[in-house]
Copies of this chain bind each other. A is one copy, B any other.
Amino acid sequence: MPSRRRPKTAGARRERVGVWVFGARGGLATTLIAGTRAVAHGLCPPLGLLTETELFAGVPLAKLDDLVFGGHEVRPGTLVDAAQEIHDRNGTIPLPVLHAVRKELTAIDKNIAAGTLVNAGRTIEEVVGRAAGGEHLRAVVARLERDITAFLRKHELTRCVCVNLTSTEPHLAPDKAHKSPAAFTAAIAANRRTAVRPSSLYAYVAARLRLPFIHFTPANAALLPAITALFVQHDTPFMGMDGKTGETLVKSSLAPMFKYRNLRVLTWQGYNILGDRDGAVLAHAENKRAKVETKDGLLPAILGYPLHTHVGIDYVPSLHDLKTAWDFVHFQGFLGCKMSMQFTWQGCDAILAAPVVLDMVRLADLAQRRGEGGPMPHLACFFKKPFGVGEHDLHRQWHALVEYVGRVRLEQRSRRNAT
């Protein structure tokens, strides 16, 4: 992955940053990796990327071209296959991009190791086409760690951000193993497989290796108290969960308006239809539950009162990644008059999510360099269920990010002036 922009010179040592992706050949990961390279090469404008806007001028983020990708994956195939499939189905990775990054994708494939399917649930196993083997949990953890450390060594990386982009897992029931790092470690040692899902192991490994962690899926199994406590102990930044990129994004942008005018929302019905592996996995009741939960809570939080809400997710194979959502809002105003608004959102999920992941990778790396361990509440605007943040109003979340960036920039300047 040679940089065209910053030649490696003796004086200015180039600092490359690892991006370790759990679910590294999924639709989102493939779009993320191919897209980052395309933007780094200047093939596409950096649309969708907030960190490439004026807002971040003067903020010392890792260069896109300095990101080195690797990851874990449970499915067979290559990144090029995955990218080609995306092109064929959605056209969202344009052919010129695919051609330009083909070789790089093949090189990155060498950084991708076998993931784990421990207790992933039947649906994911069916989609993947195989079940978890009998490997002891301790062995799994050790193996996952080895894969990542080998990657860091191979590419001489001192920094690396982990991102969870795996398919939505079924809800994991509470377990005493989740209570503390010690309890969790004991469960691993005891090979208590029902206490974990793949996401738990991935997050645990990231925490153990002190690598910042972005949990982008709705799985409840990753940010268990045991694991977030470990991140905090290790002073390592993390954030999640469930990237906010479509219908929920619109919801959290629109709902405050009703509050501003004291218009009482009586009903907010939302229907999402989508295809692809994501849709297939979510078509299964147990996997859907996790997703719906994170999507459904924010309206009462924004509006301040209970209301009739519904979030449907249905599998429509012909749509592939072109997610379509219809929302119907019934509200009441002056003199009790009922009125309504409806919207249809038609967005490519991976196209919307990939730059958000990339933004957060850079911000997590920045946080670690700045010594900010634990949850990153300034990233709340990117999540349906932001860890530790009760604020769901997109605009207040946004202002929190703007404020954070302002603080960073200020400190940058005073540091520079100090020198």
Q: Which of A351-384 contact B (CB under 8 A)?
A: 351-352, 354-356, 381
| Contact of B395 with A48 in the complex, beta carbons under 8 Å | no
| Contact of A355 with B333 in the complex, beta carbons under 8 Å | yes
Residue of B nearest to A53 (CB): B262
Specify which chain B residues have a CB less than 8 angstroms from the CB of A52 in the assembled complex: 262
Residue of B nearest to A271 (CB): B271
| Contact of B316 with A334 in the complex, beta carbons under 8 Å | no
Contacts known (A35-B334, A326-B326, A328-B324); A250 close to B261, Cβ less than 8 A: no
Q: Is A301 an interface residue when CB atoms closer than 8 A count as contact?
A: no
| Contact of A263 with B316 in the complex, beta carbons under 8 Å | no
Q: State A351–B351 Cα separation when bound (angstroms).
A: 26
Q: State A352–B337 Cα separation when bound (angstroms).
A: 9
Residue of B nearest to A50 (CB): B262
Residue of B nearest to A342 (CB): B344
CB A12 to nearest CB in B, in angstroms, measures: 28
Interface size class of A (residues with CB under 8 A): 35 or more
| Contact of B355 with A346 in the complex, beta carbons under 8 Å | no
| Contact of A352 with B333 in the complex, beta carbons under 8 Å | yes
| Contact of A346 with B356 in the complex, beta carbons under 8 Å | no
Contact of A260 among B38, B316, B345, B398 (CB under 8 A): B398
Contacts known (A257-B249, A398-B256); A335 close to B316, Cβ less than 8 A: no
| Contact of A330 with B316 in the complex, beta carbons under 8 Å | yes
Specify which chain B residues have a CB less than 8 angstroms from the CB of A332 in the assembled complex: 47, 318
Specify which chain B residues have a CB less than 8 angstroms from the CB of A31 in the assembled complex: 334-335
In the complex, given contacts A253-B256, A266-B318, A319-B330, what are 6 additional A-B residue pairs having Cβ atoms less than 8 angstroms apart?
A254-B254, A256-B398, A269-B314, A271-B326, A326-B328, A341-B344
Q: 15 A-B pairs, CB-CB below 8 angstroms?
A: A44-B334, A47-B264, A47-B332, A48-B263, A48-B334, A95-B95, A261-B355, A271-B271, A273-B328, A310-B314, A312-B314, A316-B330, A318-B330, A324-B340, A342-B344
